[in-house]
Chain A
Amino acid sequence: MAVVSTPTTLTRALSAMDNAEVLRIRNDFPVLNQTVNGRPLIYLDSGATSQNPLSVIEAEQEFYEQRNAAVHRGAHHLAVEATEVFEDARQTVADFVGAAYEEIVWTSNATEGLNVISYALSNAALWAAQGRGDARLRDLALGPGDEIVVTEMEHHANLIPWQELAYRTGATLRHIPLDDAGVLRMDEAAEIVGERTRLLAFTHASNVLGTINPVSDLVTLARRAGALVVLDACQSAPHLALDVKQLDVDFAVFSGHKMLGPTGVGVLYGKQELLDVLPPVQTGGSMITTVTMERAEYLPAPQRFEAGTQKISQAVALAAAVNYLTETGIDRVHRWESGLGQRMVAGLEAIDGIRVLGPAAGQDRIGLAAFDVAGVHAHDVGQFLDARGIAVRVGHHCAQPLHRRLGLTATTRASAYLYNTTDDVDEFLDAVSGVRAYFRA
């Protein structure tokens, strides 16, 4: 699909977002217009799940009111219309991340996307062992002596599927360690990613540290080793311009609900030549060409990985979310959120007894900050903030090994999105500055 540059989009591309625009944006998000514990809600937990603009909620409702039908089957009018909007949604998402239409597979969430890759790869080993598939498939089969490499900062969803893949195939799981500041040890990475490495999985942006990892350096290491690259784009796709072709990753996953879309839909990107060769993970309806009582032939991607009735209304609503981000300008969103992230870190570092995880103020980070409050458990911090209407995440953020590496069990995380103002951040900082006194720390 061609991108049409209208005078409006051109102007927007040049102008920075400001609080006035954010307040207009906020009007599009009904859930944000409420009070919590007598205070206006300040939602700083978008890293866990984002809120939905009216256009997304209406897209899902409109689908059910006007077009609901099974897709890819049936010759009737509704079925045709449902199939059209469902596949248009795929194109919208593909355009958003620079992928081809056939390379976008719907999943339930990013976790499922990672598990699909993991199981498709172990199925490749099973198929190869039984002489199924061709030489390209045998190239993808992992076995004893092969290595899978992750990093120490991964979300559990980008760690456990690889632990299990290693277990199923006999491959070995290794990881790139972090330094004390929570930065990837690239010197060690160059040693660890070697000729035995068959797959390198890492996060684009850390859900705890806020770091944006050096994708191209890591991809270069993987290419040198002949390894596949899996990118966890959960914290990047919603917040910055992601181009999977430019990054040259083999697979990427992200979730709809973290990018203004509904829950229940996620995206798996895979290079077409890989997706078409890998065995399916779930089998059944909608993903076959010919079925006999003995065996079946499978469709190419994306249908190959979309067995059964899909999340149709959710995909349609996710496309509306992508349109919302595109119309606002994802680069503008990224710059605005980076500013909020910097404001958080600078403010937090100025409060006595606060230790911010990840890059220091002034260094690149996405719009989130996780921190430890000396003498106060994260749960208590979260409760204290909630009493002021401020929603944050507390706990290990599904990254236990990372917390253990930093000598912590639980932290508090504030994560911003395009609907947060600098006032939100200032209110949050003001509240945090009162935490230690309240709990006598």
Chain B
Amino acid sequence: MSLDQLYQQIILDHSKARHGSGLAETAAPDGASTGQSHQLNPVCGDEVTLRVAVDHGTVTQLAWDGAGCSISMASASVLSELAEGMTVDELRSVIGNFREVLRSRGKIPADPEILGDAAAFEGVARYAARVKCAMISWVAAEDALNQAA
């Protein structure tokens, strides 16, 4: 697999223009219940703090701050864009699908119908060492949802 298949344009774009980044400066919407999670990958120092706001079963905001490699930062950005407007159950199901694809070592193809832009991370599944990079914000989101719901 070539480097360009791993680092697809969508990933490079999102790693630079980070959607939902700026948690510290972003207020949670009034009336929403929130959950927050901090995740750290001790191997490389990737770090994400992520907050979800849920209003009547719908994710109204996913804001985060983080530091790390382009894969981890882009995946948080894509997740934020994808999550807003989904129901909690929908988001949980998408997170489950994302995890399944990434842990499949390339055996399960990503379905853009389900994952949207996150399908671009399909190539990461081939690099066991990078799966955690792509997953870190999604694990944080799962944890935050449990607290908000």
Interface of A toward B, CB cutoff 8 Å: 376-380, 383-384, 387, 394-396, 403, 409-410, 438-440
Contacts and interface: CB of A to CB of B under 8 A. Distances in A.
Contact of B3 (A376, A379, A383, A410): A383
Given A380-B69, A395-B44, A387 B12 contact: no
Given A383-B6, A396-B44, 20 more contacts: A376-B70, A377-B44, A377-B69, A377-B70, A379-B46, A379-B69, A379-B71, A380-B70, A380-B71, A383-B7, A383-B127, A387-B2, A387-B3, A395-B44, A396-B45, A403-B45, A409-B45, A409-B47, A439-B7, A439-B70
Contacts of B7: 380, 383, 438-439
B16 interface: yes
Nearest to B1: A37
A403 B67 CA distance: 15
B12 A439 contact: yes
B54 interface: no
A384 B3 contact: yes
Interface of A, secondary structure class, is mixed
Interface of B: 2-3, 6-7, 12, 15-16, 43-47, 67-71, 127, 130, 133
Contact of A395 (B3, B15, B43, B70): B43
A273 to B, nearest CB: 40
A395 B40 CA distance: 13
Nearest to B45: A409
Contacts of A409: 45, 47, 67
Contacts of B127: 383
Contacts of A403: 45
Contacts of B47: 409
B74 to A, nearest CB: 11
Which 5 interchain pairs have the tightest Cβ spacing?
A409-B45, A377-B69, A379-B69, A387-B3, A410-B45
A378 B3 contact: no
